Structure 1
Amino acid sequence: MNYKTILITNEPSIRTITLNRPERRNAMTHEMQTELISAMEEAVASGCRVLIFTGAGEAFCSGLDLSELQAMRDKSAAEYRIDAERIARLFVTLSELPIPTISAVHGPAIAGGTGLATICDFTLATPDAKFGFTEARIGFVPALVSAFLALQVGDRQCRDLLLTARIFGAEEAQRLGLVNEVVAHGDLMTRVQALAASLIANSPESQRATKRLLASQNRAWLDAAIMAALEANAESRETADFREGVSAFLEKRKPVWKQ
């Protein structure tokens, strides 16, 4: 398949997906989300053993693209629901992929970029990597990513990260358990390749079975959480705060919230 927003490279048993919109700091579009889903499904079908995610240029993924934000103001509730379902499918596909996944993060990985980076089985980051669930800054509800984040860091830390919408660095992300290793920038891909090689040395059937087991243990809770998140996501986009937050962001001003 020919992709417009991502690059695919192959080595023996390893496939790398590179987010390839460096001029936009790899900001996500609907097209990129759809291509990522297809690329993951294609990777499994190809028989590769490890899937790596990284970003071209100076960022991993800076979040949702400005053009998508502009379009949001005119969408119907049904269209919002379709958008949310596509993001849910992206995250669930990544979470339940039957092969090990690694993200190699440098620079910003913000909002949906944080989700993409940290839902992988392994997240390696450079010291300059930045993370943040920044949706509350512009009137969004970080609904879908909250389901995965709560499993990863627990309720207390989840509340901190989502309600403050703060940016945090690689070392804090490691302390929280969202990052496995912090690696010097020049050594990042070498360390990622070494990790991939160690994974390939293990039993592929054992890895598939382990990932199925882990997915099954969380599925009932996660399915319910995602359904609630889809509703919350759609409802939030009908609010005055959402409209004000998007307008303020596009107009490069501080939002004025109604109490």
Structure 2
Amino acid sequence: MNTSLIEIAVDSGIAVITLNRPQKRNAMTDDMRSDLIAVLENTSQDKAVQAVVLTGSGKGFCAGGDVSGMAERMDAPTGDIAFNGWSRQQRVHHTVSLLHCMPKPTIAAVNGAAAGLGADMALACDFVVASEEASFAWSYIKRGLIPDGGGLYFLPRRVGLPRAKDLIFSGRQIEANEALELGIADRVCAPQRLLEEARAWAMQLGSGSAAALALGKSILNQSFEMSAQQVFAQGSQAQAVCYTSSQHREAVRAFLSKTK
């Protein structure tokens, strides 16, 4: 599936999803978000896809929300602005949730600037590989806004509360090496090796049991909000499902055959 604003290519079980509005550094419009939602929903259900890489075309990963769209929204009748904003936020949160809850590993391959919503979407993925030319900025404060793409949730879990406050309150830009030091990026590589690195890692992460990956990720995503007993209980239920999976049965038989 390809659209003019979102491209997807699947090869050897790895789906590379590319934000494709390079002339605007892939700033997100409402139409672009709708296309991305459709691609993510299809990818989530596609059993041929084992892992996902999200990247941007051109020099930027994603410059955040489209500012011209913000200006248009301010021109709406005063009585409509709040509800229009609430409705749009539901779409934003749905997009981020699709990335965060994707039942397979996800990697953000950050090729350039990831600002505002772009930085949030990168952290909605399980892992972040950054080009040496990448940068990150939670720049919402410069537009009189708060992070609305999950940054208030994801960033403190990556870097701790004081550092998250510093980045959000200042809106300052950090380069790839500082992102690696802070834990925002998991790996940094040369620009020409970015997709190769991300794809290779995605293949490694997605090579295991699809059922075990999906169930384990679902529990891990909730583990900071649950007690140990709740994690154990969900783990017991998930393991019972894994016991019945074809991947588990095949792996046990293969191991026993090899042992014999």
TM over 0.5: yes
* Whole-angstrom CA distance in 2 between matches of 1:59 and 1:110: 9
* Whole-angstrom CA distance in 1 between matches of 2:2 and 2:112: 27
Task: Detail structure 1 runs of 4+ shifted over 6 Å in the superposition.
Answer: none
**Which of 89, 96, 105 is 2:94 aligned to?**
89
Deviation at 1:167, TM superposition (A): 0.5
Deviation at 1:156, TM superposition (A): 0.7
* Whole-angstrom CA distance in 2 between matches of 1:180 and 1:27: 24
**Which of 84, 100, 112 is 2:117 aligned to?**
112
Alignment of 1:15-26 (within 5 A): 15-26=15-26
Match for residue 212 of structure 2? Answer: 206
Q: Deviations over 1:93-116 (max 9, x none)?
A: 211111100111111111000111
- Residue 180 (structure 1) aligned with residue 186 (structure 2): yes
Q: Deviations over 1:126-172 (max 9, x none)?
A: 11101100011121122442122222222111110100110001111
Match for residue 63 of structure 1? Answer: 64
Q: Assess if the C-alpha contact under 8 Å between 2:19 and 2:56 holds in 1.
A: yes
CA change 1:42–1:218 in 2 (3 A) is: farther
Match for residue 50 of structure 2? Answer: 49
Aligned to 1:60, the other structure's residue is in SS state: strand
Match for residue 78 of structure 1? Answer: 83
* Whole-angstrom CA distance in 2 between matches of 1:35 and 1:145: 22
Mean CA deviation greater in 100-109 or 62-71: 62-71
Aligned to 2:215, the other structure's residue is in SS state: helix
Deviation at 1:200, TM superposition (A): 2.9
Alignment of 1:105-144 (within 5 A): 105-143=110-148, 144=150
Identity in percent = 32
Structure 2 runs not aligned, ≥5 long: 227-260
Alignment of 1:139-158 (within 5 A): 139-143=144-148, 144-158=150-164
Aligned to 1:9, the other structure's residue is in SS state: strand
* Whole-angstrom CA distance in 2 between matches of 1:119 and 1:51: 12
Deviation at 1:174, TM superposition (A): 1.2
Match for residue 4 of structure 1? Answer: 4
Deviation at 1:66, TM superposition (A): 2.7
Q: Which amino acid aligns with 2:184?
A: L
Aligned to 1:125, the other structure's residue is in SS state: strand
Aligned to 2:54, the other structure's residue is in SS state: strand
Pairwise CA RMSD: 1.8
* Whole-angstrom CA distance in 2 between matches of 1:115 and 1:32: 16
Aligned length: 221
Match for residue 230 of structure 2? Answer: none
* Whole-angstrom CA distance in 1 between matches of 2:121 and 2:142: 20
Q: Which amino acid aligns with 2:124?
A: I
Deviation at 1:86, TM superposition (A): 1.3
Match for residue 251 of structure 2? Answer: none
- Residue 103 (structure 1) aligned with residue 108 (structure 2): yes
* Whole-angstrom CA distance in 1 between matches of 2:7 and 2:225: 31
Deviation at 1:202, TM superposition (A): 2.1
Q: Deviations over 1:28-76 (max 9, x none)?
A: 1111222222211100211111111111111111111132121121241
Aligned to 2:62, the other structure's residue is in SS state: coil
